[in-house]
Amino acid sequence: MDDLIDLNSADQEAIDSIEDLQGHGPEIVRYRDERGGFTDLRQLEEVPGLTGKVTAAARAKLRIGS
């Protein structure tokens, strides 16, 4: 699991390294910073521009750190 990207600590470049999330790193980091972090990967759907676009393949490369 160490190869998974922690959605609550990753920088925008790390997030953009996930093919299905390329170009959305800045929006994801901004959303995380404004909301105090993610508690569930499904919250990615709430990020502007990502509604209905987050694939299972992208989620499989992410984790929520403690």
Output the pLDDT for position 1. Answer: 46
The predicted-structure confidence for 18-43, as pLDDT tens digits, reads as follows: 999 999 999 999 999 999 999 999 99
Output the pLDDT for position 66. Answer: 59
- Inter-CA distances, 36 with 23, 47, 48, 49, 52, Å: 21, 13, 16, 19, 22
